[in-house]
Every structure is written in structure tokens, then in C-alpha cells.
């Protein structure tokens, strides 16, 4: 069985061995941080012979949620002296930026070419309310709290498709969706389909699914120890390097989900709050129904 990486290298070999020239003058790449060396090597081969400014690549190591890591130079892409870091965020608020950045505090993130990206030297130009992390004693209480928060937003005039509930797993996504439906709230579960904003309904999706999307309000549900980070994703490895990388991927995933909020993320958790959330933002909620 051939993997995606194997097939990509086969394509590179084919282009090289048969000296195939494709009819492309330039290539634009987004989300480069999630591309491995095979994909980037193929991208470099798409434009031959090489020309000045024939590649435009955008990426952010802080948003790497898959275990694909490489350097541009190893793939034949030379960016030394040709790269630029964007330092102003025009999409999310400064409060959301600080919240999301705190999730990755203290970890080393690469700059896609072998260096280190500090991640603390950019700012947002917009301002909004501070995120508040709410803790609930039971899953039923959490679902009730989420439903009440959504109802309050709808009563303020927020359209349903501007609200998204994101979870780490499909299991929790579906459980919360069932509760919202039983509460009479309009919902739309995002799986593989395109998010058509002309279709009403509060969106429910996994954190992986919301990558690349944005919503006015994001409710990050079940952000609790035992779920975030997901034990299955951390694995049972004894290799400290591999375990650190697995944990970094989980932290980056939560970071990405938080940055999908245009206004303010609203994280909620069960019992024990996720280890990466600032304790100063956490507030417990009295027990609801069991």
C-alpha cells in the first residue's frame, strides 16, 4: 500500500526523470506549516526552470496540528533574506490573541526554516471582551450552560451561523448537538461538507474541522483534563522527544480553535480545567442537573 507521502515522491521522481515541464509560472501556498518535505519538494518542482519570485508561501508554525515538520531549504526552497514576518493581526481581537498565545506559552515553535519563532512579537489592532473559562461539574450541566449561552447570543441578534461549538472529538460534538436539538436550537454539524453560511444553524465541529474557518463566537467545549490533551493523541511512547511533539500538536490544535473567534472565544470545561488555560480566567459554575 502506498502512502500519500510515497505517492508525492513518485510524482517528484516522474517530473525529474522525464524532465516534465508543467505550464505554471508561479505557485501560491497557504498553511505551509502542515506540509511535509515530500509536498514542499513537489511544489518546488512545479515551476521549472526556477524563476525569481515564482513561489509565494504562507505558514505559521504555531498552527501546525499535524506531525509534518521540515525546513524550506531542505526542499530546495531558499528563503534566507527573502522571508517576512507579519506582525499585525487584522482579524481577531487583542484579547483573543493573548488568550490563544497563552496556550503555547513556554514552548519552542520553529519558523519553517530551522529557526525559532518567538510568537510574542505581533499584535491585534482590534479589541473586544476578555474570554472567560467556565467550569461545570457534570456533562449535563455543561450542555445546559452551552445552550443558555447560545440562546443569549441569539436573543442579542447574533445569527445562528455566526456561532460555532468546537470539541476535541466527534463523540462530544454529537452529544452536545443532540442536547442543543432537544433544547429547540437550530444546529448544523460540520463534517466534510463546505460550510455554507446561507444555511442557518449553530455550527458544531471538531477542532480539526474548524481550521481555516472563522466565526463571530466560538464556544470551545469540554476543554478538560482527560480530553484536552487527548490521551490517544499523546500516545504511550516512552520517547520524550516524540511525546513533547505530540503534546505540542495538541496545544497547537487548541490554539488554532481559539483563534477562529472573531469576537471572543468562550471555553467551557468539565470538572478539571485543561492544563493550558490561564487560571486567572477560570470560573466555576454551580452544579446543574446530573
**What share of the chain in percent tops pLDDT 70?**
90
Q: Could you read off the pLDDT of 52-71 as tens digits, one per residue? A: 899 999 998 888 887 667 88
Name which residue leads in pLDDT, 101 or 202: 202
Domain locations along the chain: 4-87, 129-284
Please tell me the distance from the alpha carbon of residue 96 to that of residue 259, in angstroms, as a whole number.
Answer: 7
Residues 7-21 have a mean pLDDT of 92
Contact present, 130 and 261 (Cβ < 8 Å): no
221 touches 146 (CB < 8 A): yes
Segment 73-112, tens digit of pLDDT? 999 998 888 888 888 888 888 988 888 888 888 777 877 7
What gap in Å lies between CA 71 and CA 81, rounded to an integer? 15
Grade residue 289 by pLDDT with cuts at 50, 70 and 90.
very low
Q: Among the residues of 199-283, which ranges form H helices?
A: 231-234, 240-258
Residue 227 CA to residue 270 CA, distance in Å, equals: 10
Buried b (16+ CB within 10 A) or exposed e, 196-221: eeeeebbbbbbbebbbeeebebbbbb
Q: What is the CATH number of domain 129-284?
A: 3.40.50.300
In this structure, are residues 40 and 75 in contact, taking their beta carbons and an 8 Å threshold?
Answer: yes
Q: How confident is the model at residue 28 (pLDDT cuts 50, 70, 90)?
A: very high
Mean pLDDT for the stretch of residues 99-128 = 81
pLDDT of residue 135: 82
Q: Quote the pLDDT of residue 159.
A: 97
Angle at 200 between CA 196 and CA 205, to 5 degrees: 65
Predicted TM-score (pTM) above 0.75? yes
DSSP classification of residue 94: H
Of 249, 252, 253, 254, which Cα lies nearest the Cα of 234?
249
Average pLDDT taken over every residue of the chain: 86
Instruction: For the chain, count helices (H), then strands (E).
Output: 7, 13
Say whether 112 sits in a helix, a strand or coil. Answer: coil
85 φ, ψ to 5°? -95, 130
For 205, the grid coordinates are 465541529
Amino acid at each position: 500500500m502506498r502512502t500519500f507521502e510515497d505517492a508525492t515522491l513518485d510524482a517528484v521522481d516522474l517530473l525529474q526523470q522525464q524532465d516534465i515541464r508543467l505550464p505554471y509560472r508561479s505557485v501560491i501556498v497557504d498553511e505551509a506549516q502542515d506540509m511535509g518535505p515530500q509536498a514542499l519538494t513537489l511544489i518546488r518542482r512545479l515551476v521549472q526552470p526556477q524563476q525569481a519570485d515564482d513561489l509565494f508561501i504562507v505558514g505559521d508554525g504555531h498552527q501546525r496540528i499535524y506531525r509534518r515538520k521540515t525546513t524550506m531549504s531542505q526542499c530546495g526552497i531558499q528563503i534566507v533574506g527573502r522571508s517576512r514576518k507579519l506582525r499585525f493581526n487584522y482579524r481577531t481581537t487583542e484579547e483573543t490573541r493573548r488568550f490563544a498565545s497563552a496556550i503555547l506559552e513556554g514552548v519552542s515553535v520553529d519558523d519553517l526554516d530551522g529557526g525559532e519563532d518567538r510568537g510574542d512579537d505581533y499584535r491585534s489592532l482590534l479589541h473586544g471582551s476578555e474570554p472567560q473559562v467556565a467550569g461545570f461539574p457534570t456533562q449535563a450541566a455543561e450542555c445546559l450552560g452551552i445552550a443558555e449561552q447560545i440562546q443569549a447570543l441569539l436573543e442579542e441578534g447574533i445569527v445562528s451561523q455566526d456561532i460555532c461549538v468546537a470539541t476535541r472529538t466527534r463523540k462530544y460534538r454529537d452529544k452536545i448537538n443532540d442536547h442543543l436539538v432537544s433544547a429547540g436550537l437550530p444546529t448544523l454539524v460540520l463534517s466534510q461538507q463546505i460550510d455554507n453560511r446561507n444555511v442557518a444553524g449553530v455550527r458544531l465541529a471538531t477542532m480539526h474541522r474548524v481550521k481555516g474557518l472563522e466565526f463571530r463566537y466560538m464556544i470551545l467545549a469540554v476543554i478538560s483534563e482527560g480530553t484536552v490533551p487527548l490521551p490517544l493523541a499523546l500516545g504511550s511512547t516512552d520517547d520524550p522527544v516524540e511525546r513533547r511533539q505530540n503534546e505540542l500538536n495538541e496545544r497547537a490544535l487548541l490554539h488554532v480553535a481559539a483563534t477562529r473567534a472573531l469576537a471572543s472565544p468562550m471555553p467551557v470545561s468539565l470538572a478539571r480545567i485543561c492544563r493550558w488555560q490561564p487560571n486567572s480566567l477560570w470560573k466555576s459554575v454551580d452544579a446543574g442537573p446530573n
